[in-house]
Amino acid sequence: MALLRAFVRFVRPAAIALALLSTAAQACDSGAVALFSCDAAKSRKFIELCAPSPLDAKSGYLVYRFGSLDKDGAEKAVELVYPAETAGSLKRFYAATYTHKGVYTQSVRFVSGNFGYTVYTRSRGMQTVDAGVEVRDRTSGKTAIVSCSERPRFYIFDLKGLVACDPETPVGTACVK
């Protein structure tokens, strides 16, 4: 009996973790996969970069999605999709990997209207410092950050050679290397 209780104590957290992972924001349209995805703002929002798999220069595209989640962690509403059309969208993004002041950054940036958006992860060694999306008003310079609630996976290297280098990083122009 004690062995059965120990097994249940071990399996239950694993099952709960698996259930939570399966409800994480995975809202990319069919045929697309998340190159970056996380729940944010205490799991009430989601941030995604979606692309087809496999991703190539001829038929590939990149789409940023931001929205809200319901109480169960499922997509409730998409608040921003950029760009509206996928054709030629790879040319609308900049991507970079670089190290500045001991912090390694992976980022994808785009401009929509008067705002600049940067989806990023930052780490020092194996420890994530921060991840999320930074939204900057290009007129006032004011910035808002929506941080991920968990450490996201970022498949930025799938964009190597497909997205322009970013000229607006703290280290000058940086590319995905």
| Closest by CA position to 174, among listed 106, 76, 117, 80 | 106
How does pLDDT run across 125-147, given as a tens digit for each residue?
A: 888 889 999 999 999 999 999 99
Arithmetic mean of pLDDT, 159-170 = 96
* The pairing of beta strand 164-169 with beta strand 172-174: antiparallel
Q: pTM of the full predicted structure?
A: 0.82
How does pLDDT run across 83-114, given as a tens digit for each residue?
A: 999 999 999 999 999 999 999 999 999 999 99
Please answer whether residues 60 and 51 qualify as being in contact, where contact means their C-beta atoms are separated by less than 8 angstroms. yes
How does pLDDT run across 6-64, given as a tens digit for each residue?
A: 433 433 333 333 333 333 445 788 789 999 999 997 778 999 999 998 899 988 999 99
Q: Where are the beta strands (DSSP E) in the chain?
A: 32-40, 45-52, 63-69, 75-82, 94-100, 103-112, 115-124, 127-137, 143-147, 153-154, 164-169, 172-174
Confidence (pLDDT) at 26: 55
